Amino acid sequence: MTRTTTAAMPALQVAHWFNTPRPLTLEALRGHVVVLHAFQMLCPGCVSHGLPQAQRLHQMFAPEQVAVLGLHTVFEHHAVMGSQQALQAFIHEYRLTFPISIDQPDGHDGVPLTMQALRLRGTPSLVVLDQQGQVRLHHFGAIDDLRLGALIGQLVGEARPPVTEQEAAAGCDDQGCALPSAVASA
């Protein structure tokens, strides 16, 4: 079946959020299956395949089960794609309605911080987390609907784990979350 993995997930480092009234954190999404789609607005494979797939996922699944997040990981053409205004126009024209964040720039027109932490190979990339926040898929390039649907369906069907003391103690603020020690040391 779908190639899966189990690994800890670093916190998102985000410069700005669109399509959400307040910043989102992975910590706060524990208990949901999370589909993180990393893209660039000038990446043809993202525009033709990855973003429409993410939008369909967002519309298909109940929000209490699956959270679809976009991550604009600008690692080239910074002057063109790097502004908040540029992404806002893109989101408007492509009618994207799921929460989308701008990956925090590294300050030197290099690879942004979340993309570095996730060791993404490029765009489009998909990272899928189970309800416990563990990475179950880490994929570069296009992935077909049947395979992705099967993985998400499986993860939605898994029993929701009880909240541990460590998770309950994890601290989050608007910019991200401090990972609980159990996950950070995994």
Give the integer Cα–Cα distance in Å for 146 and 150: 6
Nearer to its own copies, 145 or 174 (CB): 145
Contact positions vs its own copies (CB under 8 A): 1, 42-44, 47-48, 53, 56-57, 60-62, 65, 77, 79-81, 83, 85-86, 89-90, 93-94, 144-158
Shortest distance, position 177 Cβ to its own copies, whole Å: 27
Q: Which is nearer to its own copies, 116 or 154 (CB)?
A: 154
Q: How far is the CB of 185 from its own copies (least distance, A)?
A: 27
Cβ proximity of 69 and 82 under 8 Å? no
Burial (CB count within 10 angstroms: exposed 0-12, middle 13-18, buried 19+), residue 58: buried
* Three-state SS at 113: helix
CB of 158 to its own copies, least distance (A): 6
Residues 97 and 22 sit within 8 Å (Cβ to Cβ): no
Which CB sits closer to its own copies, 111 or 170? Answer: 111
Angle (deg, nearest 10), helices 51-60 and 145-157: 40
For residue 129, which phi and psi values (nearest 5 degrees)? -110, 145
| Least distance from its own copies to the Cβ atom of residue 80, Å | 4
Give the nearer residue to its own copies in terms of CB position, either 21 or 44: 44
User: 144 or 174: whose CB is closer to its own copies?
Assistant: 144
**Smallest separation, CB 180 to its own copies (Å):** 25
Q: Is there a contact between 142 and 124 (Cβ–Cβ < 8 Å)?
A: yes
